[in-house]
């Protein structure tokens, strides 16, 4: 198909498609003349993935490129690929406060709290994982705000996340073929965050209304 048709089928404007081609997140089409190229279903699919990562996931283009590189080199197995995709998403999407090497009692306490949580949960995860470090940064920031007691949320949140992760991995496994599983990891990680955040808000509204607003009868 021509670029106009590609635009129509994906809802992505032609100048945006040309930008993605220049930036290398979309492979060139097959040249049919010096000024024209032909695109296939793979382009439609890839463009939708880019759009979801950018518009729904809010990832910058550099993160999208990292994630796509991982999808395109999926021979590394599910566990390794899941890790790589996660790190790309985490590094670009989350903005953990810069690590500070200055000895800091609040940071030491936060590191201990996270290590203890990982141990209590029986999770086989290093305390140097980017998400563990992100967690430490959040706790340090909370402590600085006088909200150190937010650490009390860790255990019940972690219990909820154990159940969520089992559901997520079932979702990935159900994709079947490895490259489809990798794409499921990308989509599930990014869109799953958005879904979880939205549902937490809705649950807040309901719970808050129940406690502070509505009266029975």
- Show contacts with a copy of itself in window 77-106 (CB under 8 A): 77-79, 82-83, 86, 90, 94-97
Q: Which stretch in 14-22, 32-40, 62-70, 126-134 sits in contact with a copy of itself by CB under 8 A?
A: 126-134
Residue with tokens 């972690």: 158
Sign of CA dihedral 57, 59, 65, 67: negative
Whole-number minimum distance, CB 14 to a copy of itself, in Å?
Answer: 18
- The footprint of a copy of itself on residues 18-37 (CB under 8 A) is none
- The footprint of a copy of itself on residues 167-196 (CB under 8 A) is 167-169, 171, 173-174, 183-184, 187-189, 191-196
62 binds a copy of itself (CB under 8 A): no
Following DSSP, what letter does each residue of 186-204 receive, concatenated? Answer: HHHHHHHHHHHHHHHHHHH
Task: Read off the tokens for 87.
Answer: 């790190």
123 binds a copy of itself (CB under 8 A): yes
Tell me how many residues contact a copy of itself (CB under 8 A): 90
- The footprint of a copy of itself on residues 131-150 (CB under 8 A) is 131-132, 134-135, 137-138, 141-142, 144-147, 149-150
β-sheet bridge partners, residue 30: 38
8 Å CB contact between 161 and 155 = no
Sign of CA dihedral 91, 93, 96, 97: positive
């Amino acid at each position: 198909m021509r670029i106009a048709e590609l635009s129509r089928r994906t809802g992505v404007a032609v100048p945006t498609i040309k930008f993605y081609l220049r930036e290398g997140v979309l492979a060139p089409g097959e040249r049919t003349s010096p000024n024209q190229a032909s695109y296939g279903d793979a382009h439609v699919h890839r463009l939708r993935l880019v759009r979801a990562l950018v518009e729904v996931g809010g990832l910058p283009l550099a993160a999208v490129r990292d994630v796509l590189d991982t999808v395109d080199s999926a021979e590394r197995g599910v566990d390794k690929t899941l890790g790589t995709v996660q790190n790309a998403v985490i590094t670009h999407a989350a903005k953990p406060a810069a690590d500070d090497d200055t000895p800091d009692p609040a940071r030491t306490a936060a590191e201990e709290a996270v290590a203890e949580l990982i141990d209590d949960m029986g999770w086989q995860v290093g305390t140097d994982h980017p998400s563990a470090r992100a967690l430490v940064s959040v706790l340090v920031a909370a402590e600085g705000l006088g909200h150190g007691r937010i650490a009390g949320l860790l255990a019940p949140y972690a219990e909820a996340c154990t159940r969520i992760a089992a559901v997520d991995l079932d979702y990935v496994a159900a994709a079947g073929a490895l490259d489809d599983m990798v794409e499921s990891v990308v989509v599930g990680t990014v869109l799953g965050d958005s879904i979880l955040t939205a549902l937490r808000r809705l649950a807040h509204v309901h719970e808050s209304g129940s406690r502070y607003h509505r009266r029975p009868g």
